[in-house]
Chain A
Amino acid sequence: MRRGHLDPVDRVIVVALQRGVPIVERPFAELAASLETTEEAVVARLARLVSTGLVSRFAPMLDAEKLGGAVSLCAMAVPPDRFDEVATILAAMPEVAHNYEREHRFNMWFVLAVERPEDLPKAIARIEAVTGLSVLDLPKLEEYRLELVLPV
């Protein structure tokens, strides 16, 4: 099989595993049975999906707010000649969970996730102080969907 290629069985596995597994001793048993294969075969495919980067990780998805923390989506309009410098600063901050370059005047979009809510404004203030740029702070007010199941 070509590296990084998904066959139909891989697709079923990726879709099913995005939804999640039961918290039981053998979490892949049900999926293996539905595919008429073995758990070993499912695990081998998952391991290959992870090692080839098609799946970033297989892990518990945490909710920072339910853990007592806080999350916010933030944006900055970074001058192009400073983009890499600012990205490097954010990459080093543990509070930055994700960071994306986007095609817009606001070209840097990042998610801050902290265990203590009071650390969120502190992280924003630190980013503003270190970069000299203003941060647009856009915390969620309502959530209409958060279930990433792509029909791959």
Chain B
Amino acid sequence: MLDPLDRRILVASQDGLPLAVEPFAELARRLGIPQAELLERLRRLRERGAIRRIAAVPNHYRLGFLANAMTVWDVDDREVSRLGREVGALPFVSHCYRRPRRLPHWPYDLFAMVHGRSRAETEAFRARIVEVLGPACRGGDVLYSRRILKKTGLRLAPEPPERAEEGPCSA
């Protein structure tokens, strides 16, 4: 769990850091803590992986990537880990995961997000994935994104969620 000050730091920064030459100095002022403590806490959160990185989130569509697709594949269980790493290393793949099949509705276990400037480009990327997967792949599908309905990322609440087991009835 997050300690209260770490939570305040993340809540204050999750919508965006101050856009300034010294953004952490400005954030520290708003939080009423020394900048050195803020930097130290952010570094510790990154070391434990709670912060992946401090970065810009691009808007694919606005940047000209108009053909964003989730490509999905039914890959042999014995081969999926090895092949997943190969697909994940392709330069046009931004995210790549193994997920469970849900038969009979969903037969696919490998997911790779692909971003092209046009459908023709994205289809060429898909063809490249087919080559990488080879005979271990029994089928695939492509799900083009039509609309972003919501894109906020994980939202931390200002207060931690209450833990049921710590309630008065837990004894």
Interface residues of A (CB under 8 A from B): 4, 6, 14, 17-21, 23-28, 39-40, 43, 46-47, 49-50, 52-64, 66-69, 71, 73, 75, 87, 90-91, 94, 96-104, 106, 108-110, 113, 115-116, 119, 136-152
Interchain CA distance A14-B64 in the complex, whole Å: 13
Q: Of A55, A59, A109, which contacts B54 at CB under 8 A?
A: A59
Whether a CB of chain A sits under 8 angstroms from the CB of B81 is yes
The reply to whether A49 and B149 contact each other, CB–CB distance below 8 Å, is no
Number of interface residues, chain B, beta carbon within 8 A: 79
What does DSSP make chain A's interface, helix, strand, loop or mixed?
mixed
The reply to whether B56 and A55 contact each other, CB–CB distance below 8 Å, is yes
Contact with A along B73-97 (1 / 0, CB 8 A): 0000000110011011101011111
Q: Which residues of B contact A143 (CB under 8 A)?
A: 96-98
The reply to whether B25 and A25 contact each other, CB–CB distance below 8 Å, is yes
Provided the pairs A23-B42, A46-B56, A67-B50 are in contact, do residues A96 and B150 lie with their beta carbons within 8 angstroms? yes
Interchain CA distance A5-B94 in the complex, whole Å: 23
Question: B48-81: which residues lie under 8 A (CB-CB) from chain A?
Answer: 48-60, 62-65, 70, 80-81
Q: Of B57, B97, B149, which contacts A90 at CB under 8 A?
A: B149
Whether a CB of chain A sits under 8 angstroms from the CB of B152 is yes
The reply to whether B155 and A59 contact each other, CB–CB distance below 8 Å, is no
The reply to whether B81 and A25 contact each other, CB–CB distance below 8 Å, is no
Whether a CB of chain A sits under 8 angstroms from the CB of B10 is yes
Interchain CA distance A150-B113 in the complex, whole Å: 12
Q: Of A28, A140, A150, which contacts B65 at CB under 8 A?
A: A150
Whether a CB of chain A sits under 8 angstroms from the CB of B126 is no
Nearest-CB residue, chain B, relative to A61: B52
Interchain CA distance A100-B62 in the complex, whole Å: 16
Q: Which residues of B contact A101 (CB under 8 A)?
A: 145-147, 149
Whether a CB of chain A sits under 8 angstroms from the CB of B17 is yes
The reply to whether A140 and B97 contact each other, CB–CB distance below 8 Å, is yes
Provided the pairs A142-B84, A142-B97, A150-B60 are in contact, do residues A98 and B153 lie with their beta carbons within 8 angstroms? yes
The reply to whether B62 and A4 contact each other, CB–CB distance below 8 Å, is yes
B119 CB, min distance to chain A CBs, angstroms: 11
The reply to whether B105 and A136 contact each other, CB–CB distance below 8 Å, is yes
Interchain CA distance A137-B94 in the complex, whole Å: 21
The reply to whether A46 and B19 contact each other, CB–CB distance below 8 Å, is yes
Q: Which residues of A contact B148 (CB under 8 A)?
A: 98-100
The reply to whether A19 and B53 contact each other, CB–CB distance below 8 Å, is yes
The reply to whether B146 and A14 contact each other, CB–CB distance below 8 Å, is no
B44 CB, min distance to chain A CBs, angstroms: 10
Interchain CA distance A26-B22 in the complex, whole Å: 5
Whether a CB of chain A sits under 8 angstroms from the CB of B118 is no
The reply to whether B150 and A99 contact each other, CB–CB distance below 8 Å, is yes
The reply to whether A28 and B21 contact each other, CB–CB distance below 8 Å, is yes
The reply to whether A53 and B62 contact each other, CB–CB distance below 8 Å, is yes
Provided the pairs A28-B21, A90-B149 are in contact, do residues A148 and B58 lie with their beta carbons within 8 angstroms? yes
